[in-house]
Chains A and B, each alone.
Chain A
């Protein structure tokens, strides 16, 4: 199965230059043709495994805890406005 590198790059939010596109498309097609070997197996009746432990969801009390952690966290932000992360304009117009 061939992949459309432009579509996958957009979905991945990674900009690729032309040289990278050729190389990565080639690498990925090679890997995808290797994994074709899975088609040898009859797995129609096999249940998928997403996780090997039989875990159940963990709930906790919804308690208010005072935390000043956001101050330290904001120190790393590339751009802030008060206690908000600042990003380029998302909505067109206005």
Chain B
């Protein structure tokens, strides 16, 4: 059966668009696909309809993504297109500017196709805390797609997106990529500009691509990575051409497998798949050894202090004064209190309250400062490990996709589902999730590769070699 246009990868779409007339054909195919599958998976808040036309006025010469439709998580600002963080408090907010990543993609000839659903303000691991509706997993519509970039992952997996952008503060790109069977990268802290990303945890947040394969991911990173004068936390470090080193083999690559990651709560089927992938790397010539990241068990505690503290500060700006929802009141403080009470959902309230508490007078040293110190120990674990190895291998998540409502009423168990992804954000190192098989229910399993600072190239090379050997991503969900 011939491939439908909507099934294309980024690389295929760029080739397809070499004849400029083909762009609208691709857009129309993708719109029709979204019309068919989005009512089932609910990955999008909205998308470009079939009647709309590609509005690229620029010539395609020299543009690496000309006519490629991109789906964008709803916490990334898109000029003229509602950006609400899937929250009631930002409904109707239409940014007067594009985020730097959006700007860079447009400059390479890409266009924005859709805005993706997410956990409200990216607080969640299941996409159930969206104020709009929960997104569903295309592999099993009774299960969550993961979160918080659940809409981005689900849209790519169900072929209603060619590629999507997400954001990752504690696993929000990688865990949904794992649950939906796609490739998701959290770049090194500072690698990609966050200008126009609505902030959650400013010392942790990164924007990254969710794609159908590793090569597409490298192509998108080629465009969005790099220093941005508008983001003073972006790093002025040279960006290599990530596609150049992809195909180099992994012979002699030093891979570490952290003993602290194979613990109670890890699904035996997930563990088996990760161990098989590790064995495959050995077959491909990599050198695998056991390593130790001794402070792993403290990562979730540190994260839920640091991330909520930063979130409580960042979300102080949603007060009903300048934009978004306002609850009418005669008194200013009452206006703040009512606006935030009505505008925020339960998980947002929980995290803002927790973050405010750990920063408050009398508790700062006992919680926030202590967490920052343990963060130093977690970072040192990685510094030590990368003296011995080039890549660390682990599961992305302890289980495959869980059922809707399974963890919703138990915040702590939801938080613990991010145990393998959180340490990378605390240390700032890059990590990628790639498909590494399916469990007995047919649900995708994700393999996480963690790299050294600014060494995304090695992650892409390791990921590509494995992907091209196993071809797990040939399988598609039937929806």
Cβ of A24 and Cβ of B371 under 8 Å apart? no
Q: Indicate whether B411 reaches chain A with its CB closer than 8 angstroms.
A: yes
CB-CB under 8 A from A77, the residues of chain B are 321-323
Bound Cα distance A5, B360 (Å): 12
Cβ of B96 and Cβ of A24 under 8 Å apart? no
Cβ of A87 and Cβ of B321 under 8 Å apart? yes
CB-CB under 8 A from A76, the residues of chain B are 92-94, 322-324
Select one of B301, B312, B360 contacting A37, CB under 8 A.
B301
Q: Indicate whether B254 reaches chain A with its CB closer than 8 angstroms.
A: no
In chain A, residues 30-69, which have Cβ atoms closer than 8 Å to a Cβ of chain B? 30-32, 34-35, 37-38, 41, 43, 46-53, 55, 57-58, 60, 69
Q: Indicate whether B353 reaches chain A with its CB closer than 8 angstroms.
A: yes
CB-CB under 8 A from A31, the residues of chain B are 304, 354, 411-412, 415
Residue of B nearest to A37 (CB): B301
Cβ of B329 and Cβ of A88 under 8 Å apart? yes
Cβ of A85 and Cβ of B96 under 8 Å apart? no
Q: Indicate whether A18 reaches chain B with its CB closer than 8 angstroms.
A: no
Cβ of A8 and Cβ of B356 under 8 Å apart? yes
Q: Majority SS of interface residues in chain B? A: helix
Stretch at the interface among B10-18, B47-55, B137-145, B338-346: B338-346
Bound Cα distance A47, B397 (Å): 30
CB-CB under 8 A from A9, the residues of chain B are 353
Bound Cα distance A3, B427 (Å): 29
CB-CB under 8 A from A15, the residues of chain B are 337-338, 340-341
Cβ of B357 and Cβ of A3 under 8 Å apart? yes
In chain B, residues 298-334, which have Cβ atoms closer than 8 Å to a Cβ of chain A? 298, 300-302, 304-305, 312, 316, 319-326, 329-334
Interface centre among A53, A55, A89 (most CB of B within 10 A): A53
A-B contact pairs, 27 of them (CB 8 A): A3-B357, A8-B360, A12-B349, A14-B337, A27-B411, A28-B350, A28-B354, A30-B411, A30-B412, A31-B354, A35-B301, A37-B297, A37-B301, A41-B298, A48-B372, A51-B233, A52-B428, A53-B233, A73-B322, A75-B94, A76-B94, A76-B324, A77-B321, A88-B331, A89-B330, A89-B331, A89-B332
Q: What are the 6 tightest A-B residue pairs by CB atom distance, in nearest-first order? A: A52-B428, A48-B372, A78-B326, A72-B96, A15-B341, A76-B323
